[in-house]
Structure formats: C-alpha cells, structure tokens
Amino acid sequence: MFPTPIQQTSRFTQISYKVALPLTILIWLLPLAAIMMTSVRSIADINAGNYWGWPEQWMLIENYTEVFARTNMGRYLLNSVLITVPVMIFSVGLATMAGFALAKYKFRGRIAIFAVFIGGNFVPFQILMIPVRDLTIQTGLYDTIWALIIFHTAFQTGFCTLFMRNFIVGLPDELFESCRLEGASEWQIFTKIVLPLVRPALAALSVLIFTFIWNDYFWALVLVQSDEVRPITAGISALRGQWLASWQLISAGSIVAALPPVILFFAMQRHFIAGLTLGATKG
Amino acid sequence: MQETSGQSRWHALTPWLFMLPAMLLFAVYVIIPIFQSIWISFFDWDGIGDKVFIGFGNYAELMDDPQFWTALWNNVLWLLFFMLAVPIGLGVALFLNQQVLGIRAVKSLFFFPFVISQVIVGVVFSWFYDPSSGLLQDIIGIFGFEPLPILASESMATYGIIAAGLWPQIAYTMILYLTGLNNLSPDQIEAARMDGAHGWSMLWKVIIPQLRPATFIAVVVTVIGALRSFDLVATMTGGGPYGSTTVLAFFMYEQSIFSYRMGYGAAIATVLFLLMLVYIAFFLWRMLRAERG
C-alpha cells in the first residue's frame, strides 16, 4: 500500500491527517455549499451581503416553489428524462450487439471497424455540427426531442461499443462453442448467453450514459430551440438571462438541475466508477 | 462441401448483421459528417442559399482573423493549464488513499463535481467570481484586496474559466488514480521498501511507473476535455469580454449560428478536428498495439 498507512505513522501525523481531511473536503465543496445556502436565502438577505451567516429567513419552500411555478423548469426536467432514458436504452442495446460481433467473431476488417468506433468517439462536436443540423432539419426532426435522441444514440454508440467489446472479449470462448455444438443459433447465443452475462457492464454503462446525456449542453443548443423540447441544461442557461441577479433563484434552479445525476451517482457509485475507470488499470 | 461453404458464408455474415444498426447510425451521424464538414469548409455558404466554391479561401481568411488566433491561443492555454489536473489529481488520490473511518464518503464527495453538468459548474463559478456578491471577493477581502472582476477582465477571464474547468477534471483524474493505486502490486512496494526506498524516491521510481495506464487515460481525457471546452465558455462569458475568452469550439459555433457563416465555421471546425486527430491517432495506435501484443 502506498502511501504508508496512516495508522503506522507518528501520532502527530495521524492527528493532522484527521484534521486536514474534513478541512480539504470543506474547501473543495465550498462553492457548492455556498450555492446551497444561497438557494434558501431571501433576496433581502443576499442584498444585505449575508453569505456566511445563518439565513435571516428560511426561504427553502418559497424559492424552490417559485422556480417551478414561475418558469418552465418542470417541463425542462421532463424533457431531459424523455431524451436521456431512450438514448440510454438504444445506445447500450445497439452497442452490445456490435460489441459482441467485434469481440467474438474473427473477420476481416474487425480491427479497422473497432478503431473507427473508438476514434469517432473522440472527435470534437463542432466538426459534426453543420451536417448533423442540416440532416436534422431535412428529416423534419429539428426542434423535436427525436433530434436529440437519435443524435445522442448514434454518437454514444461509439463509446458504448468500445466498452461492451472490451467486456465481452473477457467472456470464455468455450461457452459459445459448446452452445454452437448443441445447435443454438447465433441470435440465441446472443440473447441466452451474452445478455445475461453482460448485466454488470450494462449497469455501469447505463449510469455513465445517463450522466453524459443529462449534462449535454452543446447539442441542446444546436438541435432544439423551443421551451417545449429544451432539456434542463439549455433551460437553466436561458433562465439565467431572465433572472439576472436573483441569485437565490439561479441557485435553486441549478440545484434542481444537478440533482438527478447526483442522486444516481450516489445510488450506483460502484457501477459508475467501475465504468469510468475501465481501461485505467490495463491497456 | 457445397453445404459447408453455404453455411460458412452465412456464418461470415453474422457479425456484420450484429454490427449493422450501430454501424449505420454511427456512419450517418458521426463518420460521414466529418467529411461533409471538411467539404463545406471550401465553400462560402450562409446555410440557406447556394454554396460558392472558394477553395482555401476560408482558411486564408482565418490566417488574417485576429479572433481565430485568440481562440487558438486560448486553446493552447486550456491544454497547458488543464494538464494541471493530472498531477493534482494524483496528489489528491495519494492524500485520500488511506483506510480511515468515513474515507469512502470523503472520496465520493471529492468526486461528485464531475457528475454535475458543466453548465451548473459555470453558474456556480460565475457566482463565485461575481465582483459585487461573490465568495471570492469576500475571501480576498479578508486579506485587504479590492474586488477582482475576474470574468470581466480580458487578461484574467480565460484563467478564471480554466480554473472552473479544473474543478470537475481533477475529480475525474483523482478517481482514475485511486483505481490505479488500488491495483498496485504490493510485492514490488514491499521489495522497494526493503531496498530502502520511501517517500519521494518510492513515488518516482516505483509508484508512478506502475500507474502508467492510469496516467495515460488521465492525459487523454484531459486533452480531449481541453479541446472540447465549450460549455464553460458559453455559460460563463459567452466568449467575452471582447472575444478574449473564445476558444475554437465556441468561435466555430458563434460564426455558424449567429453570423450564418457555415463555410467559415466548417473551416474552424476542421482546424480543431486536425488538432484533435493528433491525439486520436496516438490513442488508437497505443490501444491497437496493446490489442495485438
């Protein structure tokens, strides 16, 4: 273990470590703590310059109600869900099939196709922007949630394929061979053997994709424009223009927008980190 | 013999059928658009009317556009300073790699800025920097300094945005290193301890070489993050003041969407793409080498 376990060090080091730990976490999360406090203050409190003190008035319910009552926040949240969930299902589904093919069949061009999926996944969004926007307008999908669903599904398929292929490649070949000898079709092998075995990877990947899509801002600006279809990231940014210096509302809105991926992260932490660090230990 | 060849032809088709939907979507929305964008960059086009072929005209114009050089220079700054996320992430990971009560909770609290949308990070830091009511002003006020309008200053705004970007990025590299530290070989560390290595010499000679896979991924995701920087610039300054914080990604968006200069925008995107291609090629080369070897 490195560094040396703190239990084996001097008493002084041990105590300093225990003091330093909460202190660093406090500093690290200071901007966030401040915004949480701000979201429950009254405008008078903010104007009086009370940032650190106890709120003069607790406006928790008032501020958060106002965010939902006076703006389209509820609609934005719903749109984000309607976009994110289908993308998660479609991209992971398509990628599991493609990943299986790339992992367990030997054919010419296999490495090249795999490389295209990986490389495409890293390109800057701007190189895709104009053609994708044109295509979306031509197909009549511009300013609908389908514009975002289809694009995100297509783009995330690259990352998902890389992920699933690397997971499936580790499954034992004998399993597939013995099924083939028993006369199972390739599709049966996929549904009966591959799908049950990749379940842990599916969980990890789904959480990651949820976060990526929920937090997307660029495509939300480029492919949709009306309040009825805007996801929360674009929504918050539009609301900031209206609220100007009403920091208590901006803060409350931001917290509402950040909450779903944060909850998901804390609920599925192990999967999330396993997904994110795949490749950090080998390769 | 006939039968088996028919069967094997069918068998040869199977993987392609499995890949077909993914390949089609990926080709239509990712691969083909890359070439279309490069093609569009040779035209003068407002997005609606006819395209007029102008060869390298857009690129020639870029060379004379001070805004392009500002954007490019800012991308260089992003690349340089964003890299701080790698050593700092390692530092935090070393700091947190202990087994004490509540350490799991501390690790996840450290990580969670990464889960938050960059738009929200932008809002949080805009408020943090706000000259009239921001937290930063209070902090430097304690030391007797005047309020510092970071985001309104042409010379400081980009650094202010990069600092905001480092917050989630450090969280990311930290988690990569924590996983790496978890997978260190205890035997080698013990052997090195026997040989008298400890502290810095241990870190340099034994630990960091073993963390190479984590470092590789950390560098790759940080480079990509730096070149992709858009959300923070858009939410914190919108490229201002006077275009001083623009980056290629934002400059391209601005030119295409607000100025209706699709050809020019495509040329900017192509430059950004070529920059990124260096790293993509490097990554693929390493990945495929590992695959074969």
Distance (Å, whole) CA B265 – CA B258:
11
The mean per-residue pLDDT over the stretch A56-68 comes to 83
Please indicate, yes or no, if residue B41 is contained in any of the structural domains: no
ipTM of the complex, rounded to two decimals: 0.91
Domain that holds residue B96: 66-292
Q: Which amino acid is at B270?
A: T
Residue-number span of the structural domain to which A157 is assigned? 71-276
Cross-chain residue pair A2–B25, CB shorter than 8 Å:
no
Residues A84 and A215 in one domain: yes
- Domain count of chain B? 1
Question: What pLDDT, in 10s, does the model give residues B202-247?
Answer: 888 888 998 988 998 899 889 999 998 999 999 999 988 989 999 9
By Cβ distance, the residue of A101, A119, A127 closest to B284 is A119
Tally the domains of chain A: 2
> Of B44, B47, B240, whose CA–CA distance to B251 is shortest?
B240
> What pLDDT digit, counting tens, does each position of B142-195 carry?
887 877 888 888 889 999 999 999 999 999 999 999 988 988 888 888 888 888
Give B53's strand partners: B43
Over range A9-19, report the average pLDDT: 89
Chain B residues touching A107 at Cβ < 8 A: 12, 15-16
Say if B36 falls within a structural domain: no
Q: Judge if A214 and A117 occupy the same domain.
A: yes
Per the domain annotation, does A66 fall within a domain?
A: no
Please tell me the distance from the alpha carbon of residue A130 to that of residue A134, in angstroms, as a whole number.
Answer: 6
Residue A118 has pLDDT above 80, yes or no: yes
Asked whether the beta carbons of B280 and A122 are under 8 A apart, the reply is yes
pLDDT at position B293, please? 64
| B40 in any annotated domain | no
Structural domain includes residue A168: yes
- Residues from chain B that touch A211, judged by Cβ atoms under 8 A, are 115
pLDDT confidence of residue B1? 40
- At B37-58, the pLDDT tens digits run 999 999 999 988 899 999 999 9
Which conformational region is residue B199 in: left (phi greater than 0), alpha (psi within -120 to 50 degrees), or beta?
left
Q: Which residue has the higher pLDDT, B250 or A279?
A: B250
Q: What is the CATH number of the domain that holds B113?
A: 1.10.3720.10
Type of residue at B72: L
* CB within 8 Å: A31 and B26: no
Give chain A positions within 8 Å (CB) of B9.
none
Strand partners, B43: B53
Question: Mutate which of A73, A121, A123 to disrupt the B interface (most B C-beta within 10 Å)?
Answer: A123
